[in-house]
Amino acid sequence: MRLCGPINSGITAGGAGASTNDADSKITLIGEIAGVYVRYNDTCPGTTVVTISSKGSNVPAGDILVLSNANTSGWFRPSQQFCDNSGAPIAGAYGGSLVYDIVNILVEAADDGCSVDVWFLLKGEDE
């Protein structure tokens, strides 16, 4: 496993409860996401929304993790539902999300001066 980050969202601006900002990772993240640590900087309000997504540079873009109305730092374990050979979801079968892309960290519905730092704990590529 390896730890990538921190990736900082940049400082939000736009007014109380409406501030936003985003930033991309400087490198392509590759592997299975075993965990994501999100650290809220400054005093972000409880309305803050953090969306972590792939950019679509190598594969179609998609959300990795969305934290709505949250402002508590911590570890999160995004997962994807497994499917069978026909593409049908397998009930109760989940595994780590996969990434092979630049990722974007978007902060919305915050107050001015908020930002987040994000670390990814990844399995793969060098194992």
Q: What is the mean pLDDT of the chain?
A: 93
Domain ranges within the chain, ordered by starting residue: 2-123
Query: CA angle, 58 as apex, 11 and 82 as ends, to 5°?
Result: 95
* Tokens found for residue 49: 């929304």
Task: Give per-residue pLDDT as tens, 106-122.
Answer: 999 999 999 999 999 99
CATH hierarchy code of domain 2-123: 2.60.120
Q: How many CB atoms lie within 10 A of CB 101?
A: 22
Q: Is the pLDDT of residue 127 over 80?
A: no
Task: Give per-residue pLDDT as tens, 54-83.
Answer: 999 888 889 999 999 999 999 999 988 899
CA–CA gap between residue 48 and residue 40 (Å, rounded):
10
Q: Which of 98, 12, 8, 90 is nearest to 48 (CA)?
A: 12
